[in-house]
Structure 1
Amino acid sequence: MARFWVALAALLCLFCTDIARADDQAWQRGQAMYHKGWNGQAACVRCHGNLGQGKEEGGLQAPPLAGKPDRQHLQRALLEGVGSNGQLLHPLMPRYQIDAAGLDDMLAYLSVIGKDTPGLTDTVLRVGISLPDNVYGAAIQAGLNRAFDQVASGVYGRKLELLVNPAPDQVFVEVASLQSGVQAASSSRIEANRRAVIGPLPAPGLASFSDTLAQDSFHLLPSMREQASALLAQAALDARDVANNNRATQQLTLIYDRGNDPALHALLKELREQARDNHQSLREQIWSAKARQPVEAVIYLGSPANLREVLAATGEGLVYASAIHIGPSSLQLPPAQAARLRLLLPWHTSSPVFDLPAAYNDAAYAAGMVLIEALKRSGRQLGRAELLQQLNQLRDFTIPGFGAISFHSGQHHGSRGGQLLVVDAEHGIFKVLRSW
């Protein structure tokens, strides 16, 4: 009997899931009809507005449609041109040839219209950004405002209004938010609110080795896995330069301290294969307080807190790491230790000499420009589906001083470029050594 109830519960769960999926598809089909018309007939949005609010068209006031209209009244209005009061509607109201399934889809959309586009009106598009109250937050906000200044008059008549740390239902899209550890782990919050997230930025001092993204999250920067691969390639280039292009094997030590991270272990497997192709002999160490033998070069994927100790225990070789993961810690090192670092910044900056807040300013500017371009391509009749479609179709969109951005379905890390930095700890700045 217990097995019977377990099986029944599983079947009910599947049944309810199918219903939810069908309902979701229904309103999306209804949205397409509302915005594009039905069998070549006029689209509802032209007279009734993007949010179903109703508007004036040709000297006539079209009524609002948002809410949950009565099925019979909607059917008579669409097929017969008869209003809910029994009077004939104006001749400009089309008589639609719509079947029962299409009517169901339209009803589904009219029950949610406006709810899928919070923060959007005919005159304003509200953009959300989550920021801490520090120099990084100030730099990111300034970079995004710098981008919005490019379209001070708005996009298709809508001004871009930036809201810092807003409530989820206040904004249409989220741009250039600084992802703290808590925010990075709460992608379900983003999914629940069903809004696009463009160009979230990693918080200094944090690293995630997973490249799994929320469905509607579009990252401008390469993943940490791509950055680690680039570090390995840079180490190989430096070794060949020293050896005058000799293909001799480079002795390399990979140090990490998160032995229980499945995403890190997947990355390590990829790095071993890449090292063999690069003629690199890769030795791995899980960091501890024990002294290490001096090594030729190090790829460091461990905690910033251990950086000083790693440098002291590994001899005089170069140490390669992520500028975001350990960048702030590197500026606190003695100059001689800092000089051994080669840090990867996973985007381009507008200056060959800079500090990290300036780099975040440039990345936020790039995220703002991606939003503006996607809005321009979406057109005046904007909705969530239109914005996501244009983001997924963005190819080789070049931002001066930053690089080219490309997205497609299944690939939401937009940039492949970066810069290799050296550290000037004495002056608290970074210098660009190499770009690609």
Structure 2
Amino acid sequence: MMASLWTALFVFLWLLFADVASAADDQAWQRGQTIYHKGWNGQAACVRCHGNQGQGREEGGLRAPPIAGKPDRQYLQRALLDGVGSNGQALHPLMPRYHMDASSVDDLLAYLSVIGRDTPGLTDTVLRVGVSVPANAYGAAIQAGLIKAFDQQVYGRKLELLLNPSADQVFVEVASLQTRQSTTEAKVLPDIGQLPLPGVANFSDTLAPVSFQLLPTIREQASALLTQAALDARGAAPNNRATQQLTLIYDLGNDPALHALLKVLRQQARDNHQSLREQVWSAKVRKPGEAVIYLGSSANLREVLAATGDGLLYASAIHIGEASLQLPPAQAARLRLLLPWHTSSPVFDLPAAYSDAAYAAGMVLIEALKRSGRQLGRPELLQQLSQLRDFTVSGFGEISFRPDQHYGSHGGQLLVVDAAHGVFTVFRTW
């Protein structure tokens, strides 16, 4: 019995110290990662010459050797501190002579032993791409759009799509409908073309630094609704500058993003010669036939339509979702829904539209990968995405990013609802 207790205690202590040692090792290679990518005390970063994976790189006729793996500590220290190679010869003058302490050499050595661990989902033959979607028609449509885009290789790498992966399984996420992380500085897994959840009203334009959104901002979408209402009111008389009466209805809440949006819309309404009467649901409009801008979800859609007379009601196709297809035909005919991207067909259902957007996101990823080159890492990919200009995806439109602007397109379509056939048709493109 005593022998068994001692054995159990030994195993427990061994596991405890193994965990502590593993945590210390992780901290060491993470410190080494910082040195490798950002340099040491202002001296040049290793990644500039030796590549994101330590694979070595040729530039300007000079070849920096590969250093990934487990280099001998004495060799590494002589190269870093003294500029002497393993053959005893002086290294090229472009190789910095670092003034690095012994513990920093150990940290860098730890990172070189595990290099590549900071970019999961990437091998010489495969690049794993994640997509987070529910098991429904939207998820299936998004997968179909990505599979269509990924039917090719980039620099000999096959693009492998993983469904609902963990962050340590993939190189990048594309066209996801849901995310595990908030859009804050803490997000580290790059994502391209995250798509809004249908049927959910969201008024935030906040993006993480590693997120690249294909769709226009929420402010731009809401602004387009006001513009479309003005166009419909003056369609028969384009020179008519009479003030258009509008009612703006939104759900009661303490959403700062919604209130910031309302401030922008008030100013635009004044510029558009529109009188914007604001109402928190559930008040009725005062005049029959008056147009309504509805900033809310599908939950109150029937009641809003029933309470607002017989005028047109403008809303987001994403916020309303497919609830509009369940309306009586007379009510559905009053809707004008804004879809913030272009689709490949003039008649479609929403899952088909999501497939088109997913395809566009996949093509943006492929273009950025091609521009990044064979020696790929996440920093290279993010840099190329930030520099993407005037890239056209057939059936979707033109996409451009800037380092300070991660919303790639600025157009969409105004839809009318055919509830009898369960489809949407394009009324106007913007």
Normalised by the size of structure 1, how large is the TM-score?
A: 0.81
CA distance in 2, matches of 1:24, 1:80: 23
Is structure 2 residue 182 aligned with structure 1 residue 186? Answer: yes
Q: Does the 8 A contact of 1:120 with 1:172 survive in 2?
A: yes
Cα drift, residue 97 of structure 1: 3.5
Flag structure 1 segments of 5+ consecutive residues without an equivalent. 1-20, 38-43, 56-61, 83-87
Which of 195, 204, 220 is the equivalent residue of 1:201? 195
When residues 92 and 119 of structure 1 are mapped into structure 2, their CA distance, relative to the original with a 3 A threshold, is farther
Which of 338, 347, 356 is the equivalent residue of 1:362? 356
Cα drift, residue 226 of structure 1: 1.4
When residues 63 and 217 of structure 1 are mapped into structure 2, their CA distance, relative to the original with a 3 A threshold, is closer
CA distance in 1, matches of 2:155, 2:363: 15
Q: Does the 8 A contact of 1:259 with 1:286 survive in 2?
A: no
Question: 2:75 maps to which residue?
Answer: 73
Q: Does the 8 A contact of 1:30 with 1:107 survive in 2?
A: no
User: 1:168 is paired with a residue of what secondary structure?
Assistant: coil
Question: 1:236 maps to which residue?
Answer: 230
Q: Does the 8 A contact of 2:131 with 2:162 survive in 1?
A: yes
CA distance in 2, matches of 1:112, 1:282: 60
User: 1:351 is paired with a residue of what secondary structure?
Assistant: coil
Q: Which residue type is aligned with residue 27 of structure 1?
A: Y
Q: Which residue type is aligned with residue 225 of structure 1?
A: R
Question: 1:409 maps to which residue?
Answer: 403
Question: 1:27 maps to which residue?
Answer: 36
Q: Which residue type is aligned with residue 74 of structure 1?
A: L
Q: Which residue type is aligned with residue 98 of structure 1?
A: P
CA distance in 1, matches of 2:276, 2:56: 66
State which drifts further: 334-343 or 221-230. Answer: 221-230
Is structure 2 residue 398 aligned with structure 1 residue 399? Answer: no
Equivalent residue pairs, number: 384
Question: 1:107 maps to which residue?
Answer: 108
Alignment of 1:98-247 (within 5 A): 98-100=96-98, 107=108, 110=112, 113-149=115-151, 151=152, 154-179=153-178, 183=179, 186-188=182-184, 192=186, 194-247=188-241
Q: Does the 8 A contact of 1:374 with 1:390 survive in 2?
A: yes
Cα drift, residue 403 of structure 1: 0.3
When residues 266 and 112 of structure 1 are mapped into structure 2, their CA distance, relative to the original with a 3 A threshold, is farther
Is structure 2 residue 336 aligned with structure 1 residue 345? Answer: no
Cα drift, residue 167 of structure 1: 1.4
CA distance in 1, matches of 2:429, 2:326: 25
When residues 146 and 204 of structure 1 are mapped into structure 2, their CA distance, relative to the original with a 3 A threshold, is same
Cα drift, residue 63 of structure 1: 7.6
Q: Does the 8 A contact of 2:187 with 2:210 survive in 1?
A: no
Q: Does the 8 A contact of 1:327 with 1:343 survive in 2?
A: no
CA distance in 1, matches of 2:252, 2:401: 31
Residues 27-50 of structure 1 deviation map (CA, whole Å, 9 limit, x = unaligned) = 32359854542xxxxxx34xxxx6
Q: Does the 8 A contact of 1:178 with 1:201 survive in 2?
A: yes
Cα drift, residue 253 of structure 1: 0.5
Flag structure 2 segments of 5+ consecutive residues without an equivalent. 1-29, 58-64
When residues 113 and 379 of structure 1 are mapped into structure 2, their CA distance, relative to the original with a 3 A threshold, is same
Which of 359, 370, 373 is the equivalent residue of 2:367? 373
CA distance in 2, matches of 1:184, 1:278: 40
Cα drift, residue 215 of structure 1: 1.0
Q: Which residue type is aligned with residue 182 of structure 2?
A: S
Question: 1:262 maps to which residue?
Answer: 256
CA distance in 2, matches of 1:115, 1:125: 14
CA distance in 1, matches of 2:116, 2:180: 28
CA distance in 1, matches of 2:258, 2:196: 17
Q: Does the 8 A contact of 1:67 with 1:113 survive in 2?
A: no
CA distance in 2, matches of 1:316, 1:382: 57
When residues 96 and 251 of structure 1 are mapped into structure 2, their CA distance, relative to the original with a 3 A threshold, is closer
Residues 149-175 of structure 1 deviation map (CA, whole Å, 9 limit, x = unaligned) = 1x2xx1111111111111110100100
CA distance in 1, matches of 2:213, 2:174: 10
Q: Does the 8 A contact of 2:31 with 2:108 survive in 1?
A: no
Cα drift, residue 111 of structure 1: 6.6
Cα drift, residue 77 of structure 1: 3.9
Q: Does the 8 A contact of 1:130 with 1:166 survive in 2?
A: yes
CA distance in 1, matches of 2:90, 2:189: 35
